[in-house]
Structure 1
Amino acid sequence: MRIHIRYLQRRCQYLRLGSLALSCEQVGGDQLMSSGFAVGHLVEFRGGPGIGRVGAITDGSLRVDFFESTAEPTIESQTVPASACRRVRLAAQTRTFRHNPSTGEWMAGRILATAPGGYFVRFPNADYDMPVPETELRVRWNKPVRNPLEVLVSGGNESGHLYNARLPMVHNLIAQRAASASTPALLAAAAEIYPHQVRAALTVLSDPVQRYLLADEVGLGKTIEASYVALQTLIDNPQARVTFLVPDALRRQWVTELRTKFFTDDFPRRIKIISHHSPDLWEQYHGSDLVVVDEAHQLVQDRDDTDPIYRALRDLAHSASRLLLLSATPVTSSHTTHLGLLHLLDPDVYKWSEREEFARRYQHRAELANHVLSLDAEFHPLLPSTIEMIKELLPPEDSRFTHLAADVLELLDEYEGLRDEARMPDLEARVTALRAHISETYRLHRRVIRNRRSNVLRQNDDSAAVPYEVRGRAEPEKLTAQSYSPAADSLLAWQTQLWGHLLDEGLENRRIDYALALAVLASRLGGSSADYLDALRWRVRRDQGAAERAGLNARERKYLSSVPVAPHEAATLENLESASAGEGAREVDELIDALLPALRKGGRIAVFCGPGSLASTLTARLRSRFPKVSFFEHTRGAGPDASETATSSWRKPVVSAAVLIADDSAEDGLNLQAARSVVHVRLPWSPNQLEQRLGRTDRYVESNEQRQAPRQYVLTDAEAHSDEWLSLLTGGYRIFDGSVSTLQDAIAEGLAVVWAQALEHGPEGLPGFAEAVQEQLDRARREIDSMDTLESIFDTSPHDIDFAERLATFDADWAATRNDLLGYTGRDSSDGIKLRHTVRKIDDVMCEVFDLKSRPLISPHLYDRANLTKEMARGTCSRSQALKAPGTRLFRIGNRLVDTLASVVWCDDRGQATAFWRAEVAHRGEPEPYFGFDYLVEADISSALTLTLPLVQQSRDAESALRRQAERLLPPFTLKVWVPAGASEALADGDIRRWLQAPYRATDHNYNSKNIHELMNLFDGQARYAASARGAEAVARAELKRVTNLADRCAVAQEQGRQRLSVARAQAEARQAAGRLLGEKENYLLDVAITDALVQGLSNPTVRLVAATCLVKQGLRRIPRSD
């Protein structure tokens, strides 16, 4: 019977609503356009701030009014062409507000279904759905709620259950902002938090001008730093175009890293990864928002501004809004290389037309670096003279140098000794500060970030962050070839006869030229004669096909062909061709027999064969002989896609053995630190190339099993060059002891002389040169140390160190983040928006899985479900869990689902205001109302932004960068203030405040539409209630500094800012004066003015209300439950 009555009621409402709609069209006929728009229609348009209401129609245009709250029903209006607008059909669950034209009252409800001319709307505490004409409905625009107080005083308050769900989520979102300095990529990326990587990324992202050279030493994670920047660029602007220019062999690795750690596939079609080898296509990517150039030195070395490839790179770089160049180029490398890189960053300051002036500045800096290296507290008698020599090189305007130098000398007596031995730690600290000042002030370019291994690997036992570790290297074990090698004998004969020919012809002075031909031929020996034969064919016959099969690059072809062929060489080639005919299979089988001791060790094994065809031949034969063992091939012949697939399969967990066999395509940039053993079938002729190869496994530690260096094996022949070359590599270059990447220029410079020893004296000449090599590299190392004193990053800024700690500390309490997230979405029938959720094990990780098909209590236009995928809705709140399974997302800001929910939190008015009464057993007398206000406090960046806007193309970019700078000093935070109604002071800490702070609970009673009159009666009407609430909020703001720690926080932040500012100002003035050391055109003083404006804003931060509460305290009373 009840169902039948409800049906009749609804039919009557349909009929009444239909007549209302018809009447509206008849009355407003002159306002109805032929396009179908009428006053009162709900519409939206591209670029608009959400759903609006047609307020007027004139001359083919609509005035669209936007609704903020019942207190501010028309917050903004925009006039747009009618052709740009479209009608909006409100979906079920849309939050809406009805304005009753008869009474003028507002009431909030939610859409249940469409009806003729309007919608069925469910209002709170109603037991039926009311039909309402579209003209009486309003929908909030898509901007954050401007003032929750207005929602409260207008009666728009909702149940405290919504407040309970929303406010912890608000606090957590703000805490994430504070931890990351509004850089969500640092939290959302599934990468371990390492201070040097975070600091580098944040330095870039905090700069309004984001054009940087990331020059960390090999293995420190430049890829991670660049990926942080790329992800944040997309988070800030999901429509941004991001282009990566990378070596072809690394394209798939970049794709994998970006997708599985940084989830860039959440931004489809916005990232393009293109190859170094296709400069003719680069023009298509001009105008990108961000360009990242990996291994940038490969495109710049040995080139100038006339080279077509460099010019194509230049045009691409200069067209981009942001630019990151990734290169481990040593600081001592050619000034031309540095100029080529810096010109890409800043063509106005670093011009090719001024290369001679740049070379002079480069030389002056080298002189300064040599003196700065002598600044050592251990040798304090030398400090006065060293400081005096440095002073002569610096401009007299460098007042900070003068001040810091005086601080050092103050601790020394007239005999240049330490006045008090107990002050040695003070002297060390002051010398470090002086060196840091010189480094930060006189670096070649302020937008170069260079971290050194020695600094990064230094552990801080007090840090909450995970220490950065690399696998390291082990002394190699020899695998001796037992069989006869005609190719090895052939090379010995070639070398002996060639040296004799040079002596006979009086050409011994050209031994350097011929030496590098010997080096290239020697690198093709080992395992099979085929590649050596092909290299010799290129030299003697200029056989192009042979050169390609041997994997000869352009430089190697030049070394082999640039010196005349000696008379004996053709016969040597023919003899070897005859001797090796039909021996290929035997040679490969004997090679396998020699490798078996290493292969039987099991686990993941990486076998490096060097350039040429050997890797493919060896893979095929191993698969034939051992079909049950997993062999994977990474070669140029297999191609980049198949090679990357093979490498990914090789990285998967193994039971017995997984062997990756590679040519030189795997020696640059590839991450192979999962290898337990490394086998070198052939050694490169250049230690620099071997350094690149060793760097594939000597990388950051990803798991406990990688904390031990991989075993190293080298195939050698005691009667050939390989054994003696290995001896020099271990004893002279010491390349298996540690990285020599910073010495690559010195190594390259002396390499021809080294191989000249082998040409003149045979293989035995190589080990005897070890001492000379050591001396040369030691000299180079000292020079590099001195230059690095100027170019490396000094960790002298306390807030930088604290920032990494902030991230790590926040991350450690991931359970709180999970609790707040699930509390908001709704868990175990708790309050929340009812977004269904389950827990499921995926790839051995317990993941939260949100059901995007559920219909949460969110207005659909705020819940961007169309752009959410099921992958975005699966993940974990624990970083350690996410790192176990690549591709597992982290639920933090920066995740697309979390960001969608965050937008709802700020834009949905539900939960922003609540009013309820709470019983207190001991209370006697009249009810006591209190007003509670939750505030968000953040730094004011408006003045700094005004100064910055002329420097950038997009104001949004500048605002984001400055916000990060400010939040490193003053992180955003929330404060809550309670004010008794009618009082002139806020409550300080005490029992009553703690009682008020308790969350809304089941025994509390919400003021809803049925009993709101009780609340109004306490204040003698709505007007006085509103006046009392507004008065209380004014008191709360005035009392913020007295009853909270706001003043202390601002004072600490401003003091840190002033310290930073004083250093920046002194450095800027010194750089402006240091024309012969640096360029004179970089506007450092403007940067200082911007920093000054930021620091001033710290003392008077912006305070924004984010939630308002009215809580009435009263005694026990009997009341029927209705809410």
Structure 2
Amino acid sequence: MSLNRLMIGGFVMLPDGSGIGRLESVVGQESIVTIFHSFSELEKVRVPTARLARSFLYPGTRVYPLSENDVPKIGRVTSYNLSDDGYVSYEVQFPNRRTIYFSEIDLRVRCWRARGEATEILAAGIGESQFLHDRRFAATRKLIEARASAQGLTGLISSGIEFVPHQVAAVRRVLSDPLLRYLLADEVGLGKTIEAGVIIRQILIDDPDRYVGVLVPSSLVSQWQNELRDKFYVDDLLGTVEIIAHDKYDELERVPDLLVIDEAHHIVGDELAPAIRAHLTKLAHQAPRLLLLSATPALANPEKFLSLLNLLDPSAHKMDELESFKTKLDQRQEFGRLLLGLIPDSPGLILRRRANDAKRLFPDDPDIVSLADQLEIATKDGTEDIAGLTRDLSQHIASTYRINQRVIRSRRSDAEGWEFQSRGPAFPETEAATLSHVRIDDDEDRRIQDIINALEDWRAAALSAFEGDEYEIRLKAAMRYRDLIEALGVGVEAFADVLQVGEMLFPNETEILAGIRSILEADPGPRCKLDVAEDSIRILKGQFPVHAKPKIVAFSSATPMAQALHERITRLDRHASCVIVRTQSPDQVEGILRRFVESSDTWLLIVDRSGEEGLNLSFADAIVHIDLPLSATRIEQRIGRVDRFGRRKAVIRHRILLPYIDEGSVWLAWKNVLAYGFRVFHEPISDAQFLLDKIDREFALTIFEGGVTGMGAFIKDLHEKVVAERKKQDEQYALDRIALADEGGSAFIETMDEFEEAEGEFGEAMESWLVSVLQLKRYRISSQSPEVFGMAWGERSLVPRRPWENQFGLDNPSPMTWRRRIAITNPGVVLERPGSPLLDSCQRFMRWDDRGATFLTLRIDPAWPKESPPWLVFKLCFVVEPDLPEASGIFSDTDNMGCLRRAQQFLPPALHTIYLDVTGTPVTVADHLKILERPYLKARDEHQGDLNLGSRPELLAEFIDPALLPLLCAQIREHGQREILQRREVFVMLENAARRAQVDCDRRKRHLLRRAHFEDIDIRDELHINQKIALAVAHPQVRLDAIGLFVICSGMTLTSENP
């Protein structure tokens, strides 16, 4: 007989994730299946027979045998036999350790979505040792404390990262929104990948069946794979993540549940082929959840910015409305200028002007008019809170009139407490930048001077030929001159290649270029650029202390130079250097980077132009520029590989190799533009990206028309332009900064940090449950790292191996730790927190199995008066949390997760314990509570200790009539819930939470109504969501997690058998 044949009365696995049921009958193509929720609740469902599969119980499964007298029992499966009739007989062990075989027909198993609670278990006189309850209670309390600190962001708390305010605020904003379509537009190096990693992890935690597609530039595929694996442990989650290059989008198996696009400005610019851009745009519109990553500079280009917003919401941001969009941007800049002036400690006259400006800009917004009027009065008579009014006015403007509510951008100034290390030595703002950390070497090729003189002849001839011509024609000649100069900076060989391309620009150009080519035939002399580059690198290394083991990065625009330099450096020490060039695969690049990071013998990484983007080299000490591109963008990209978020080292040293450094050198002039105009060796210029291409063209035209004379004025003018651009961005950014600051990220991080300080206690409580009770095996990974360990199933584990071994993530476990610092410093070591497969599945198992959820304890305590009769006291443990579906089921309703996270910002889950006597009166006497709160201690004699009454029904009956226990338990359960809600601290907490949630709901409603008036958008869904969240907080769920009964006496004579 086939084991897979469905048996009437036997167990079947339901197809909808409900778990195990009992097959009652088969009628045609349908079957009737009974689902067991609890002793008092059975559910019958119709299921297509073809979708059912026979199910078997594994050792450790909690079962509820049927008895002739209908007395409820509980036990666990320890073994099984297959009967001749095709049914399975299971050996069941009861709490008193007796074992009996039952046919599967006579057993019941709770479904995954069981709705019963522990009260009816206790009412039946069933209770296992309080030893189990004590450990379950400790683990539950710590898990709830962790969830409360994270406010539902378990993907954040369980990632191997530090909590950085601007990153946490971004993640919280995105994951608290039921409509997940966002643009992360932080400045370069602020950790957009970290924000995206947390969001990806949370999406997979919410629903393990989800499919996440991450599209990135091909050079970043390996970096993304490493980050998601080592910091966010996506390989341990059941969902699927695919990281694919932009141009290989067709390798996605389907439209992702979450589509992430890094460097999203590439798909709205000219970097990708039109067909690829069109397909990616269509994919972005189809994806139900979309996360775009693009550096802030893309937002400075109105056309690109609109294109990015069109990906998020094509109906609200139409591509044929560019001019009206530009008008909106100008308006937002004026709004930002107003917000920058709303400083609480400004003189009253200034604040009154700002208040009048607000009323002038927003005459139809009654909230703004009212707040502005109040602010005016407050500055005159001082009766109102000026700081509070300016804050409320600023936040209302920012929240209501941002260009898009789903654009999140942060700047370096927002990384409060996580400031970036300085790129260079400090200097007074009014003085020229100090360049003690920048050194220059010049090429010793003898041909350079002659080539420069010939290029001057070319420039003079071109100027004469184009004198009086239009700007575009002169610019074309200037850019040709710039290309020649830049190529000569790369090397004579690269310069020779550039001479071969390009159309003739003026009549006698052919003769001049022929003369230059003849120079190239000359003898370069005894030392070439390769020799100088090697010397420069070794000199730089020698400037560090011998014990320092520095890491140096050398950038070369030319692949042949990078490869040749690598061969030169490694001729004496083959481990000293490694090289990354454009022809290598992502896997090769990953291996080379790992070697550079991990090997103490490898101190130099040489990269060609392909290494100027994507690489994270924040651990490096110095940069060597084998050439100096005449592009501020490329210089910033190079330095940005090292100057990144998380960098711990101070000043970045530079060594720059130029063709010629005497007076009149164009390259020296360009270095000065970078150093004194942009100040790029001291501060990032990515925020001025929109200016950079324009400045590059202006520099080209300046050196073409006048050489290096007048560079001082050019540099001064440039610096003023950069300052003005940053001021403009301050104004544009003001709305975003204030709106994001309204998220309360700092207080949220403080709450998580408070929990993290007790991570040792968290680990102890979890191991006490997982190892001591559930009998999982804990083993050391390494004797050198006691905080890193592994867990595995053991022969005596009390959890059914299937499906839980896979659910717990222990079928192929990773090294794990309870310590965040260990996880951060040891990539790949999984941080165990709610959100990890082990702990999330542990919580689900605890809800399904109900082991330790009840107890019946006879407590013999000498402190109890001998003359007093036995005292019966119930312990009840309630969980109070927002009433949304996820809070009630073993498996979550993922559609509500964003709502739940926002609701938990007002009402985090909390565990409340109360002790009631049989009259329903709370126990408050300290001495009595001390007796009740003592941990379980098995009795050794009749004078002190605890006995499990659950395995002694006859003894239990001496204290309470079993027939009265069900009614008493039900009454106590109702009394307990009522008493918990009436406790002053709980009542005040719930009242404040409901008030804050409703205030937030009303505030959001006002903002939405003003936005709808201002932008003509549909707000009905958001209004419904906001009200739903407020109601979930105002009417919370109160769930009984555990209940137990104490019988307190001073002593007794033991007559019943030991448990």
User: Does the pair score TM above 0.5?
Assistant: yes
Deviations 1:74-129 (A, max 9, x none): 52222223333222232233322221337765352423232534435243366764
- Flag the 1:1040–1:758 CA change in 2: closer, same or farther, 3 A: same
2:927 corresponds to: 991
Matched, 1:1090 2:1053: no
Do the aligned residues in 2 keep the contact of 1:731 with 1:770 (CA within 8 Å)? yes
The alpha-carbon deviation at position 745 of structure 1 amounts to: 0.8
Aligned counterparts of 2:513 and 2:680: Cα–Cα separation in 1: 36
Aligned counterparts of 1:992 and 1:268: Cα–Cα separation in 2: 48
Residue 784 (structure 1) aligned to one of 729, 738, 744: 729
Do the aligned residues in 2 keep the contact of 1:175 with 1:973 (CA within 8 Å)? yes
Amino acid at match of 2:578: F
Aligned counterparts of 1:112 and 1:184: Cα–Cα separation in 2: 37
1:595 corresponds to: 537
Aligned counterparts of 2:493 and 2:513: Cα–Cα separation in 1: 17
Deviations 1:543-586 (A, max 9, x none): xxxxxxxxxxxxxxxxxx999993345314522442378x8983
Amino acid at match of 1:669: G
Do the aligned residues in 2 keep the contact of 1:250 with 1:670 (CA within 8 Å)? yes
The alpha-carbon deviation at position 234 of structure 1 amounts to: 1.0
Aligned counterparts of 1:1113 and 1:298: Cα–Cα separation in 2: 73
The TM-score normalised by the length of structure 1 is 0.86
Residue 937 (structure 1) aligned to one of 871, 880, 885: 880
Residue 654 (structure 1) aligned to one of 579, 585, 600: 600
Residue 1036 (structure 1) aligned to one of 953, 976, 982: 976
- Flag the 1:735–1:311 CA change in 2: closer, same or farther, 3 A: same
The alpha-carbon deviation at position 315 of structure 1 amounts to: 0.6
Matched, 1:64 2:27: no
Deviations 1:896-935 (A, max 9, x none): 2222222211111211111111012233332221111100
The alpha-carbon deviation at position 604 of structure 1 amounts to: 0.8
Aligned counterparts of 1:1069 and 1:126: Cα–Cα separation in 2: 65
- Flag the 1:323–1:580 CA change in 2: closer, same or farther, 3 A: farther
The alpha-carbon deviation at position 503 of structure 1 amounts to: 1.6
Do the aligned residues in 2 keep the contact of 1:852 with 1:873 (CA within 8 Å)? no
Alignment map for 1:117-196 (pairs within 5 Å) = 117-124=87-94, 129-143=99-113, 146-196=116-166
The DSSP-based 3-state class of the residue aligned with 2:834 is: coil
Amino acid at match of 2:80: A
The DSSP-based 3-state class of the residue aligned with 2:841 is: helix
The alpha-carbon deviation at position 664 of structure 1 amounts to: 2.0
Do the aligned residues in 1 keep the contact of 2:994 with 2:1030 (CA within 8 Å)? yes
Alignment map for 1:693-704 (pairs within 5 Å) = 693-701=638-646
Q: How many residues align?
A: 1025
The DSSP-based 3-state class of the residue aligned with 1:330 is: helix
Do the aligned residues in 2 keep the contact of 1:679 with 1:712 (CA within 8 Å)? yes
1:882 corresponds to: 823
Aligned counterparts of 1:68 and 1:821: Cα–Cα separation in 2: 27
Identity in percent: 25
Amino acid at match of 2:483: V
1:53 corresponds to: 22
Aligned counterparts of 1:936 and 1:443: Cα–Cα separation in 2: 39
Do the aligned residues in 1 keep the contact of 2:780 with 2:786 (CA within 8 Å)? no
Amino acid at match of 2:1048: K
Alignment map for 1:969-1008 (pairs within 5 Å) = 969-981=906-918, 983-988=919-924, 990-1003=926-939, 1004-1008=945-949
Do the aligned residues in 1 keep the contact of 2:791 with 2:810 (CA within 8 Å)? no
Q: Give the aligned CA root-mean-square deviation in angstroms.
A: 3.1
The alpha-carbon deviation at position 210 of structure 1 amounts to: 0.2
Amino acid at match of 1:712: H
Do the aligned residues in 1 keep the contact of 2:636 with 2:680 (CA within 8 Å)? yes
The TM-score normalised by the length of structure 2 is 0.91
The DSSP-based 3-state class of the residue aligned with 2:528 is: helix
- Flag the 1:1041–1:100 CA change in 2: closer, same or farther, 3 A: closer
The alpha-carbon deviation at position 212 of structure 1 amounts to: 0.3
1:357 corresponds to: 324
- Flag the 1:592–1:783 CA change in 2: closer, same or farther, 3 A: same
2:942 corresponds to: none
Aligned counterparts of 1:379 and 1:310: Cα–Cα separation in 2: 52
Aligned counterparts of 1:112 and 1:170: Cα–Cα separation in 2: 29
Do the aligned residues in 2 keep the contact of 1:119 with 1:132 (CA within 8 Å)? yes
Structure 1 unmatched ranges of 5 or more: 1-31, 414-418, 460-466, 541-560, 946-953
- Flag the 1:1017–1:853 CA change in 2: closer, same or farther, 3 A: closer
Residue 531 (structure 1) aligned to one of 490, 494, 502: 494
1:1122 corresponds to: 1058
Amino acid at match of 2:107: L
Residue 240 (structure 2) aligned to one of 264, 270, 289: 270
1:566 corresponds to: 509
Aligned counterparts of 1:562 and 1:145: Cα–Cα separation in 2: 83
Alignment map for 1:593-632 (pairs within 5 Å) = 593-600=535-542, 601=544, 602-624=549-571, 626-632=572-578
Alignment map for 1:354-393 (pairs within 5 Å) = 354-376=321-343, 377-378=345-346, 380-393=348-361
Matched, 1:290 2:258: yes
Residue 699 (structure 2) aligned to one of 744, 754, 761: 754
Do the aligned residues in 2 keep the contact of 1:115 with 1:131 (CA within 8 Å)? no
Residue 167 (structure 2) aligned to one of 194, 197, 201: 197
Residue 1055 (structure 1) aligned to one of 995, 1014, 1031: 995
The alpha-carbon deviation at position 887 of structure 1 amounts to: 0.9
Q: Point out the more displaced range, 502-511 or 724-733.
A: 502-511
The DSSP-based 3-state class of the residue aligned with 2:405 is: coil
The alpha-carbon deviation at position 711 of structure 1 amounts to: 1.9
Amino acid at match of 1:817: F
Aligned counterparts of 2:562 and 2:181: Cα–Cα separation in 1: 40
Aligned counterparts of 2:505 and 2:274: Cα–Cα separation in 1: 22
The alpha-carbon deviation at position 818 of structure 1 amounts to: 0.4
Amino acid at match of 2:993: A
Aligned counterparts of 2:770 and 2:341: Cα–Cα separation in 1: 61
Alignment map for 1:373-452 (pairs within 5 Å) = 373-376=340-343, 377-378=345-346, 380-394=348-362, 396-413=363-380, 427=386, 430-452=389-411
- Flag the 1:527–1:755 CA change in 2: closer, same or farther, 3 A: closer
Amino acid at match of 1:636: R
- Flag the 1:497–1:796 CA change in 2: closer, same or farther, 3 A: closer
Deviations 1:275-303 (A, max 9, x none): 12346x26x45521111111111221359
Matched, 1:1071 2:1011: yes
- Flag the 1:286–1:91 CA change in 2: closer, same or farther, 3 A: closer
- Flag the 1:130–1:870 CA change in 2: closer, same or farther, 3 A: closer
1:926 corresponds to: 869
Aligned counterparts of 1:219 and 1:115: Cα–Cα separation in 2: 62
Residue 247 (structure 1) aligned to one of 217, 220, 227: 217
Q: Point out the more displaced range, 257-266 or 400-409.
A: 400-409
1:850 corresponds to: 791
Aligned counterparts of 2:1016 and 2:507: Cα–Cα separation in 1: 50
Do the aligned residues in 1 keep the contact of 2:450 with 2:519 (CA within 8 Å)? no
Matched, 1:1100 2:1035: yes
The alpha-carbon deviation at position 185 of structure 1 amounts to: 0.9
Amino acid at match of 2:828: G
Deviations 1:463-500 (A, max 9, x none): xxxx4544644544223226135246425522442333
The DSSP-based 3-state class of the residue aligned with 2:510 is: coil
The alpha-carbon deviation at position 362 of structure 1 amounts to: 2.7
Do the aligned residues in 1 keep the contact of 2:596 with 2:604 (CA within 8 Å)? yes
Amino acid at match of 1:296: A
Aligned counterparts of 1:303 and 1:659: Cα–Cα separation in 2: 31
Matched, 1:906 2:851: no
Do the aligned residues in 2 keep the contact of 1:754 with 1:766 (CA within 8 Å)? no
The DSSP-based 3-state class of the residue aligned with 2:851 is: coil
Amino acid at match of 2:264: A
Do the aligned residues in 2 keep the contact of 1:852 with 1:865 (CA within 8 Å)? no
Aligned counterparts of 2:995 and 2:703: Cα–Cα separation in 1: 64
1:14 corresponds to: none
- Flag the 1:595–1:539 CA change in 2: closer, same or farther, 3 A: farther
- Flag the 1:147–1:129 CA change in 2: closer, same or farther, 3 A: closer
1:42 corresponds to: 11
Amino acid at match of 1:443: R
1:28 corresponds to: none
Aligned counterparts of 2:73 and 2:624: Cα–Cα separation in 1: 78
